[in-house]
């Protein structure tokens, strides 16, 4: 299941971005994921839930916009600084 590798990449990216803004908790992550990545949003969410356990992103909801190609990009993250 390659979703775990993709989820790990997303997690590393959002944790780095959140840390740079002093975030304590990440609640939402908006993504663009290319159809050639061959992932379903629910499988990606499940993998993300597992890899983010115990981190500031634990419980974060992924909002996946499927696009053409093989793109994978974080569009925005919603954080709590308190």
State the CATH number of the domain containing residue 56: 3.30.2320.50
pTM beyond 0.85: yes
Residue 64 Cα distances to 17, 20, 31, 77, 81, angstroms: 18, 23, 5, 12, 24
The whole domain housing 73 covers: 3-80
pLDDT for the residue numbered 23:
85
Number of separate domains in the chain:
1
pLDDT number for residue 68: 94
Contact predicate 17/75, CB 8 Å: no
The pLDDT, as a whole number, for residue 1 is 60
Q: What is the pLDDT along the chain (82 residues), one digit of tens a residue?
A: 689 999 999 999 999 999 888 888 999 999 999 999 999 999 999 999 999 999 999 999 999 999 999 999 999 999 987 7
Q: What is the pLDDT of residue 24?
A: 87
């Amino acid at each position: 299941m390659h979703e775990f590798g993709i989820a790990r990449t997303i997690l590393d990216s959002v944790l780095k971005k959140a840390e740079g803004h002093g975030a304590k908790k990440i609640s939402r992550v908006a993504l663009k994921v290319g159809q050639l990545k061959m992932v379903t949003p629910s499988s990606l969410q499940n993998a993300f839930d597992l890899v983010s356990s115990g981190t500031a992103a634990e419980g974060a909801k992924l909002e996946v916009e499927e696009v053409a190609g093989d793109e994978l990009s974080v569009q925005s993250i919603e954080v709590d600084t308190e």
